[in-house]
């Protein structure tokens, strides 16, 4: 069964694994590989594009295909809506809106959006619960200029997360991972010591350069983000 792109991909990947093609090396041209493996060039192209998407090979017009001299591990994470994440774990989902205040954006939000001046925003603080226990605390700012309808949405039962994702899709998004201390802000929420390290995912979204929302999602102590490659 040599005549499908996945087996071509696996064959090329195996050669790289065996160091037949080593980092920095140039691979045979698509046409040659096609002739060697007895398939059409388009099949090799499909296989190679998959390998290129995974960062296993690099392709350049005229330059050919090569194994990167400095290989990288390309990891892909799916960040779901928090409710889906909790339900996928087989736990019950709970949601508490702690605060909902219109306010001008503070400096760190203004700069996250790349704005030159503060804008009117809606500030939300909410807690997501898994089996009644604090799972993720979110601190969110929503740009009222871009999303005025949010004023009329009841956010005490439906999380802003969910409303936005279904009503205000974004065209651009930055994601930032880092570690922080629970401190006096999050310590009480998770009923933990102020020195407890917490994992933070910060996401900022735009639609055609107009700011939508910026969220800090602070995960409960011990939270890990996991993915498989290959």
Q: Is 72 exposed, middle or buried (0-12, 13-18, 19+ CB in 10 A)?
A: exposed
188 binds its own copies (CB under 8 A): no
| Residue 53 Cβ vs DNA, minimum distance, rounded to whole Å | 10
The Cβ of residue 99 has, within 10 Å, a number of other Cβ atoms equal to: 9
Residues 179 and 197: their CA atoms lie apart, in Å, by 7
Long-range pairs for 88-92 at CB < 8 Å and ≥24 separation? 89/130, 91/130, 91/131, 92/130, 92/131, 92/132
Which residue in this structure is represented by tokens 């922080």?
180
| Residue 81 Cβ vs its own copies, minimum distance, rounded to whole Å | 6
12 binds its own copies (CB under 8 A): no
Q: Single out the residue of 20, 31, 32, 80 in contact with its own copies (rule: CB under 8 A).
A: 80
Q: Which helix (H) or strand (E) holds 162?
A: helix 160-167
CB under 5 to 8 A by kind: which of DNA, its own copies, none does 123 bind?
none
> Which CB, 18 or 61, lies closer to DNA?
61
Q: Which residues bind DNA (CB under 7 A)?
A: 3-7, 27, 29-31, 39-43, 45-46, 48-49, 52, 59-65
Q: Single out the residue of 165, 187, 189, 192 in contact with its own copies (rule: CB under 8 A).
A: 165
178 binds its own copies (CB under 8 A): yes
Task: Give exposure, 137-152, as e/b (b: 16+ Cβ within 10 Å).
Answer: bbbbbbbbebbeebee
How far CA 65 is from CA of 27, 58, 89, in Å, comes to 5, 6, 41
Instruction: Map residues 92-121 to x or -, x wherever contact with its own copies holds by CB under 8 A.
Output: ------------------------------
> Which residues contact its own copies (rule: CB under 8 A)?
13, 16-17, 19, 22-23, 53, 55, 70-81, 84, 165-167, 169-181, 195-200, 203, 207, 222-230
């Amino acid at each position: 069964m040599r005549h499908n792109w996945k087996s071509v991909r696996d064959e090329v990947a195996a050669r790289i694994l065996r160091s037949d093609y080593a980092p920095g090396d140039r691979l045979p041209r698509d046409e040659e590989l096609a002739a060697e493996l007895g398939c059409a060039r388009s099949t090799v192209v499909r296989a190679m594009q998959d390998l290129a998407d995974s960062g296993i090979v690099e392709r350049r017009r005229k330059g050919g295909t090569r194994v990167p001299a400095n290989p990288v591990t390309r990891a892909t994470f799916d960040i779901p809506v928090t409710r889906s994440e909790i339900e996928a774990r087989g736990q019950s989902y709970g949601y508490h809106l702690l605060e909902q205040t219109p306010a001008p954006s503070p400096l760190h939000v203004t700069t996250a959006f790349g704005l030159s001046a503060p804008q009117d925003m809606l500030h939300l603080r909410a807690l997501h619960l898994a089996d009644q226990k604090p799972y993720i605390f979110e601190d969110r700012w929503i740009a009222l200029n871009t999303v005025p309808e949010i004023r009329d949405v009841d956010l005490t039962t439906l999380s802003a997360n969910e409303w936005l994702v279904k009503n205000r899709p974004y065209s651009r998004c930055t994601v930032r991972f880092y570690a922080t201390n629970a401190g006096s802000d999050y310590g009480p929420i998770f009923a933990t010591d102020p020195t407890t390290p917490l994992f933070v995912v910060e996401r900022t979204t735009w639609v055609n350069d107009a700011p939508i929302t910026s969220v800090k999602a602070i995960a409960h102590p011990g939270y890990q983000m996991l993915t498989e490659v290959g």
